[in-house]
Structure 1
Amino acid sequence: MTATPPPAQPTGYTPAPAAKTNTLAIVGLILAIVVPVVGLIISIIANNQIKQTGEGGAGLAKAGIIVGIIFTILGVIGIIANIALLGAATTYGS
Protein backbone atom coordinates (compact mmCIF):
# COMPACT_ATOMS: atom_id res chain seq x y z
CA MET A 1 0.00 0.00 0.00
CA THR A 2 1.21 3.37 -0.95
CA ALA A 3 0.65 6.27 1.38
CA THR A 4 -0.96 9.32 -0.19
CA PRO A 5 0.75 12.60 0.53
CA PRO A 6 -1.15 15.15 2.59
CA PRO A 7 -2.88 17.91 0.66
CA ALA A 8 -0.76 20.94 -0.09
CA GLN A 9 -1.07 23.74 2.42
CA PRO A 10 -1.97 27.15 1.05
CA THR A 11 1.09 29.34 0.79
CA GLY A 12 -0.76 32.51 1.61
CA TYR A 13 -4.02 34.24 1.24
CA THR A 14 -5.26 37.01 -0.91
CA PRO A 15 -6.60 39.89 1.15
CA ALA A 16 -10.02 41.22 0.38
CA PRO A 17 -9.89 44.28 -1.86
CA ALA A 18 -10.11 47.54 0.07
CA ALA A 19 -13.47 49.23 -0.01
CA LYS A 20 -13.55 52.23 -2.36
CA THR A 21 -13.76 55.51 -0.48
CA ASN A 22 -16.65 57.72 -1.48
CA THR A 23 -15.26 60.76 -3.28
CA LEU A 24 -18.01 63.06 -2.06
CA ALA A 25 -17.04 62.24 1.54
CA ILE A 26 -13.53 63.56 0.90
CA VAL A 27 -14.78 66.62 -0.96
CA GLY A 28 -17.41 67.27 1.72
CA LEU A 29 -14.85 67.26 4.53
CA ILE A 30 -12.55 69.65 2.66
CA LEU A 31 -15.40 71.99 1.77
CA ALA A 32 -16.73 71.87 5.35
CA ILE A 33 -13.54 73.66 6.35
CA VAL A 34 -13.46 76.12 3.43
CA VAL A 35 -17.18 76.72 2.74
CA PRO A 36 -19.04 75.17 5.71
CA VAL A 37 -22.61 75.24 4.40
CA VAL A 38 -21.68 73.63 1.07
CA GLY A 39 -19.44 71.09 2.80
CA LEU A 40 -22.25 70.21 5.19
CA ILE A 41 -24.68 69.57 2.35
CA ILE A 42 -22.20 67.50 0.35
CA SER A 43 -21.22 65.49 3.44
CA ILE A 44 -24.88 64.66 4.08
CA ILE A 45 -25.28 63.53 0.47
CA ALA A 46 -22.10 61.43 0.76
CA ASN A 47 -23.35 59.85 4.00
CA ASN A 48 -26.60 58.82 2.29
CA GLN A 49 -24.68 57.38 -0.68
CA ILE A 50 -22.42 55.39 1.65
CA LYS A 51 -25.43 53.91 3.42
CA GLN A 52 -26.89 52.79 0.07
CA THR A 53 -23.73 51.53 -1.63
CA GLY A 54 -21.64 50.29 1.31
CA GLU A 55 -18.59 52.26 0.16
CA GLY A 56 -15.89 53.36 2.55
CA GLY A 57 -15.63 56.89 3.90
CA ALA A 58 -18.40 56.92 6.50
CA GLY A 59 -16.04 58.50 9.02
CA LEU A 60 -15.04 61.20 6.57
CA ALA A 61 -18.67 61.99 5.80
CA LYS A 62 -19.57 62.18 9.50
CA ALA A 63 -16.54 64.37 10.18
CA GLY A 64 -17.62 66.65 7.32
CA ILE A 65 -21.10 66.91 8.82
CA ILE A 66 -19.76 67.73 12.29
CA VAL A 67 -17.17 70.24 11.05
CA GLY A 68 -19.74 71.80 8.72
CA ILE A 69 -22.23 72.26 11.56
CA ILE A 70 -19.64 73.71 13.94
CA PHE A 71 -18.16 76.11 11.38
CA THR A 72 -21.62 77.19 10.20
CA ILE A 73 -22.67 77.97 13.77
CA LEU A 74 -19.43 79.86 14.41
CA GLY A 75 -19.95 81.81 11.18
CA VAL A 76 -23.49 82.79 12.14
CA ILE A 77 -22.31 83.85 15.61
CA GLY A 78 -19.53 85.89 13.98
CA ILE A 79 -21.96 87.63 11.65
CA ILE A 80 -24.32 88.44 14.53
CA ALA A 81 -21.43 89.76 16.63
CA ASN A 82 -20.21 91.96 13.76
CA ILE A 83 -23.68 93.40 13.23
CA ALA A 84 -24.03 94.08 16.96
CA LEU A 85 -20.62 95.72 17.15
CA LEU A 86 -21.30 97.79 14.05
CA GLY A 87 -24.62 98.91 15.50
CA ALA A 88 -23.00 99.80 18.82
CA ALA A 89 -20.21 101.69 17.10
CA THR A 90 -22.60 103.80 15.02
CA THR A 91 -24.88 104.47 17.97
CA TYR A 92 -22.23 105.44 20.50
CA GLY A 93 -19.59 106.65 18.06
CA SER A 94 -20.70 110.28 17.79
Structure 2
Amino acid sequence: MSGPLYEETTNMTDPQNSTPSNQPPAYQAPAYASAPPASPAAGSGPIPGRTMGIVAFVLSFFAQLIGLILGIIALVQSRKAGHKNGFALAAIIISVVLGIVGIIVGIVVFSLFMNASTDIYQQYLDNCSTGGSGYIEYMGEQIPCEQVDQGQLD
Protein backbone atom coordinates (compact mmCIF):
# COMPACT_ATOMS: atom_id res chain seq x y z
CA MET A 1 0.00 0.00 0.00
CA SER A 2 2.27 2.60 -1.11
CA GLY A 3 -0.23 4.51 -3.18
CA PRO A 4 -1.24 8.14 -2.75
CA LEU A 5 -4.04 7.24 -0.34
CA TYR A 6 -1.63 5.70 2.12
CA GLU A 7 0.68 8.70 2.02
CA GLU A 8 -2.17 11.09 2.62
CA THR A 9 -3.39 9.28 5.72
CA THR A 10 0.08 8.98 7.17
CA ASN A 11 0.62 12.69 6.69
CA MET A 12 -2.46 13.45 8.74
CA THR A 13 -1.40 11.46 11.77
CA ASP A 14 2.34 11.85 11.65
CA PRO A 15 3.49 14.63 14.00
CA GLN A 16 6.93 14.66 12.42
CA ASN A 17 5.52 15.58 9.05
CA SER A 18 5.59 19.32 8.55
CA THR A 19 3.65 19.37 5.34
CA PRO A 20 0.21 20.93 5.54
CA SER A 21 -2.71 18.56 5.45
CA ASN A 22 -6.31 18.90 4.42
CA GLN A 23 -7.40 18.59 8.03
CA PRO A 24 -9.41 21.42 9.71
CA PRO A 25 -7.70 23.25 12.58
CA ALA A 26 -7.98 21.71 16.04
CA TYR A 27 -10.83 22.82 18.37
CA GLN A 28 -10.07 25.93 20.35
CA ALA A 29 -12.11 27.16 23.33
CA PRO A 30 -14.04 30.35 22.64
CA ALA A 31 -12.65 33.49 24.21
CA TYR A 32 -14.77 34.75 27.10
CA ALA A 33 -14.84 38.26 28.46
CA SER A 34 -13.14 38.81 31.78
CA ALA A 35 -15.22 39.03 34.95
CA PRO A 36 -16.42 42.50 35.97
CA PRO A 37 -14.51 44.11 38.81
CA ALA A 38 -15.88 43.63 42.31
CA SER A 39 -18.08 46.44 43.58
CA PRO A 40 -16.48 48.61 46.24
CA ALA A 41 -19.43 48.17 48.63
CA ALA A 42 -18.92 44.40 48.81
CA GLY A 43 -15.55 44.54 50.49
CA SER A 44 -15.53 47.99 52.05
CA GLY A 45 -16.85 46.85 55.45
CA PRO A 46 -19.99 47.70 57.39
CA ILE A 47 -22.10 50.72 56.55
CA PRO A 48 -21.93 53.33 59.35
CA GLY A 49 -25.21 53.72 61.18
CA ARG A 50 -26.83 50.58 59.74
CA THR A 51 -26.95 48.63 63.02
CA MET A 52 -28.14 51.69 64.91
CA GLY A 53 -30.83 52.17 62.26
CA ILE A 54 -32.13 48.64 62.85
CA VAL A 55 -32.14 49.17 66.62
CA ALA A 56 -33.96 52.48 66.13
CA PHE A 57 -36.50 50.76 63.89
CA VAL A 58 -37.31 48.18 66.57
CA LEU A 59 -37.45 50.79 69.36
CA SER A 60 -39.70 53.07 67.31
CA PHE A 61 -42.63 50.75 68.06
CA PHE A 62 -42.12 50.70 71.85
CA ALA A 63 -40.15 53.81 72.86
CA GLN A 64 -40.84 56.44 70.22
CA LEU A 65 -38.60 59.18 71.60
CA ILE A 66 -35.55 56.89 71.86
CA GLY A 67 -36.29 55.41 68.42
CA LEU A 68 -36.56 58.90 66.95
CA ILE A 69 -33.24 60.06 68.43
CA LEU A 70 -31.35 56.91 67.40
CA GLY A 71 -32.93 57.01 63.94
CA ILE A 72 -31.76 60.58 63.36
CA ILE A 73 -28.24 59.76 64.56
CA ALA A 74 -28.08 56.64 62.34
CA LEU A 75 -29.37 58.53 59.31
CA VAL A 76 -26.80 61.31 59.76
CA GLN A 77 -23.95 58.78 60.10
CA SER A 78 -25.03 56.92 56.97
CA ARG A 79 -25.46 60.09 54.92
CA LYS A 80 -21.98 61.32 55.93
CA ALA A 81 -20.55 58.02 54.64
CA GLY A 82 -22.54 58.39 51.40
CA HIS A 83 -24.94 55.49 52.00
CA LYS A 84 -28.70 55.21 52.28
CA ASN A 85 -30.25 53.85 55.48
CA GLY A 86 -33.85 52.77 55.01
CA PHE A 87 -34.20 51.40 58.54
CA ALA A 88 -33.21 54.73 60.08
CA LEU A 89 -35.62 56.65 57.86
CA ALA A 90 -38.44 54.21 58.66
CA ALA A 91 -37.65 54.52 62.39
CA ILE A 92 -37.94 58.30 62.19
CA ILE A 93 -41.27 58.16 60.35
CA ILE A 94 -42.77 55.48 62.62
CA SER A 95 -41.59 57.24 65.77
CA VAL A 96 -43.14 60.54 64.73
CA VAL A 97 -46.45 58.99 63.63
CA LEU A 98 -46.83 56.78 66.71
CA GLY A 99 -45.77 59.66 68.97
CA ILE A 100 -48.49 61.90 67.55
CA VAL A 101 -51.06 59.10 67.84
CA GLY A 102 -49.97 58.51 71.46
CA ILE A 103 -50.35 62.19 72.33
CA ILE A 104 -53.84 62.30 70.80
CA VAL A 105 -54.93 59.14 72.65
CA GLY A 106 -53.48 60.53 75.89
CA ILE A 107 -55.44 63.76 75.53
CA VAL A 108 -58.68 61.88 74.82
CA VAL A 109 -58.23 59.52 77.80
CA PHE A 110 -57.32 62.42 80.10
CA SER A 111 -60.35 64.44 79.06
CA LEU A 112 -62.68 61.45 79.54
CA PHE A 113 -61.23 60.82 82.98
CA MET A 114 -61.55 64.46 83.95
CA ASN A 115 -65.18 64.55 82.79
CA ALA A 116 -65.99 61.45 84.83
CA SER A 117 -64.33 62.77 87.98
CA THR A 118 -65.98 66.18 87.59
CA ASP A 119 -69.34 64.46 87.23
CA ILE A 120 -68.85 62.45 90.44
CA TYR A 121 -67.77 65.55 92.33
CA GLN A 122 -70.79 67.48 91.09
CA GLN A 123 -73.09 64.61 92.12
CA TYR A 124 -71.53 64.62 95.56
CA LEU A 125 -72.12 68.34 95.95
CA ASP A 126 -75.72 68.09 94.73
CA ASN A 127 -76.86 64.84 96.38
CA CYS A 128 -74.91 64.65 99.62
CA SER A 129 -75.65 68.15 100.89
CA THR A 130 -78.72 68.89 102.97
CA GLY A 131 -81.84 68.18 100.99
CA GLY A 132 -80.08 65.85 98.50
CA SER A 133 -81.03 62.26 97.71
CA GLY A 134 -78.13 60.86 99.75
CA TYR A 135 -76.79 58.71 96.88
CA ILE A 136 -74.17 59.05 94.15
CA GLU A 137 -74.51 57.06 90.94
CA TYR A 138 -71.24 55.54 89.78
CA MET A 139 -71.05 53.01 86.93
CA GLY A 140 -74.74 52.22 87.24
CA GLU A 141 -74.67 51.64 91.02
CA GLN A 142 -76.02 53.88 93.70
CA ILE A 143 -73.51 54.52 96.47
CA PRO A 144 -74.69 56.05 99.78
CA CYS A 145 -73.01 59.34 100.64
CA GLU A 146 -71.75 57.86 103.93
CA GLN A 147 -69.53 55.40 102.01
CA VAL A 148 -67.87 58.13 99.94
CA ASP A 149 -64.53 59.34 101.34
CA GLN A 150 -64.72 63.11 101.25
CA GLY A 151 -60.92 63.41 101.27
CA GLN A 152 -60.69 61.76 97.83
CA LEU A 153 -63.13 64.24 96.30
CA ASP A 154 -61.30 67.36 97.44
Which TM-score band (shorter chain)? 0.7 to 0.9
Q: Which has the higher helix share?
A: 1
Equivalent residue for 2:147?
A: none
Equivalent residue for 1:3?
A: none
Count of paired positions: 89
Which amino acid in the other structure matches residue 46 of structure 2?
Answer: K
Q: Which has the higher strand share?
A: 2
The reply to whether residue 42 of structure 1 matches residue 92 of structure 2 is no
Alignment of structure 1 residues 1-94 onto 2, 5 Å: 9-10=32-33, 12-13=35-36, 15-16=38-39, 17=42, 20-21=46-47, 22-56=50-84, 58-93=85-120, 94=123
* CA-atom RMSD in angstroms: 2.7
Runs of 5+ unmatched residues, structure 1: 1-7
Q: Which has the higher contact order (CA 8 A, sep 6+)?
A: 1
Q: How many Å separate the matches in 1 of 2:115 and 2:37?
A: 68
CA apart distance, 1:55: 3.9
Please give the TM-score of this superposition, normalised by the length of structure 2: 0.50
Q: How many Å separate the matches in 1 of 2:61 and 2:37?
A: 38
Runs of 5+ unmatched residues, structure 2: 1-30, 124-154
CA apart distance, 1:59: 1.3
Identity of aligned residues (%): 29
Structure showing greater radius of gyration is: 2
CA apart distance, 1:34: 1.3
